[in-house]
Amino acid sequence: MKKKLAALLAALIVFAVPARAGSFAKGADIGWLQQMEASGYKFYNDHGKQEDALQILKDHGINTVRLRTWVNPSDDRTNGHNSKEQTVAMAVRAQGMGMRVMINFHYSDSWADPQQQRKPAAWQGHDFPRLLEDVYSYTYDVMSALKAAGVTPEWVQVGNETPGGMIYPEGSTDNWPQLAQLINKGYDAIKAVSPSSRVVLHLDRGNDSKRFRTWFDNAQANGARFDVIGMSYYPYWLPGKPDYKQSIDALARNMNDMATRYGKEVMVVEVGGEDSRPQNTYDMLVAVQRKVRAVPNRKGLGVIYWEPLGARSWSQYPLSAWGDDGKPTKAMKAFLAE
C-alpha cells in the first residue's frame, strides 16, 4: 500500500509541474543590459527599491531572455558590445535566474535589420565558399562557448530581420540559392553543438502575409532548414504609426497561415510599444499574447519584448517599457495578465 501511495504521489508531482520547455515563452531582449549597468544606470522595482533588472523582469512574468551576438563589435555604448564573451556571460546569468535563453546571430559587427545587413569586417573580401566556412565556424564557436558554460539555448536565430537576406551582397534574396546555403551553414553548426536547440528564421512586419509567404516559399523551394518562424510586430513602425487594433488581426491570420502552410511553430520574437503610452502598450501586449496562444495545435510559442529595460533616458529609444523613474511601466504587467 505504501509503495502504491508513493508511486501515486510521484505521478501527481510530475503531472503538476509542466515541462519547462513546453511552457509559453514570455520574453525580454536584454542586449543593452550590461552596458546600462556598466554606465551606472540603476533599476528599481514597482515599490521604488533598487533591484537586479533580471529579478524585476522575472517578477513581471518574464521567463525567457533573448541575446544578440555580434562578430567583432565596437565599444560604442548603444551600438556596440554583444561580443561572444558578453553574450555567454549574460546567458549564464539569465539561466542562473531560471530563465530560458534565445540566441540571435546577426552575422554582423553591429545591427542587422531590413535596412542593413553589413558583412563583418573580418569577412570582407572572402569568396562565397569562404563565407560559408565563416558562418559555420563562427556559429559553432559561439555555440560551443555557450555549451562549455553550461548553457543550452532553447532557440537560436540564424539572422535578424532578414526580408532581404543577410551578409550582403552574397546572401541577398536576389540570390536565394546562396542565401539558403548560408542559412544551412548556420543551422548545421547549431545542431552540431546543440541538437535540441530550435532554429529560428526571422522577418519583420509580422502582420504582412504576402511578405512572409513570398520569403518562406523561396526558403522552402531552395532547401533552407529551420524549425520556427519568428516575427517582429511593431505597430509604431508601420506606415502612419497606426494603433495596434488596425493590424493585430492581420498578425493573427499570418501566424495561423504560417503554422499551417509550412507546418512550423511560430513566435513573436520582437514586439514593442510607445513608452509614453503604457496603457496602450499593455493592451497591445495582452492582445498579442492571446493571438499567439490561439495559433492552432499549440504552435504559437511565445512573445518577446525588444529591450523593455532600454529606458529612453539612457538609450533614446522610444519603445522601451521603462520610465524616467527607473521603474517598469504598466506595460510590463501585461506578462502577468496572460
Q: What is the mean pLDDT of residues 66-81?
A: 93
Find the mean pLDDT for residues 300-325: 97
Q: What is the mean pLDDT of residues 138-152?
A: 98
CATH code of 90's domain: 3.20.20.80
Is residue 143 in some structural domain? yes
3 within a domain of the structure (yes/no): no
For residue 329, how many C-alpha atoms fall within 13 Å in the half-sphere facing its CB?
26
pLDDT at residue 87 tops 80: yes
Centroid of chain to Cα 147: 19
Total structural domains within the chain: 1
Give phi and psi for 205, each to the nearest 5. 55, 65
Q: Burial-class residue 255 by CB neighbours within 10 Å (0-12, 13-18, 19+).
A: buried
On the question of pLDDT at 292 being above 50, the answer is yes
Q: Is residue 163 in some structural domain?
A: yes
Q: Tell me whether residue 35 is in a domain.
A: no
Q: Estimate to the nearest angstrom the gap between the alpha carbon of 237 and the chain centroid.
A: 18
Q: Identify whether 30 is part of a domain.
A: no
Predicted local confidence at residue 18, as pLDDT: 31
Q: What is the pTM of this model?
A: 0.93
Q: Is residue 312 part of a domain?
A: yes
What's the pLDDT band for 76 if we cut at 50, 70, 90?
Answer: confident
Q: Which residue type, as a one-letter code, is found at position 224?
A: A
Domain residues for 234? 52-337
Measured CA to CA, the distance from residue 17 to residue 38 in angstroms comes to 37
270 within domain boundaries:
yes
Reported as a pLDDT band with limits 50, 70 and 90, residue 9 is very low
- Report yes or no on 16 lying in a domain: no
For the segment 94-103, what is each residue's pLDDT rounded down to a tens digit? 999 999 999 9
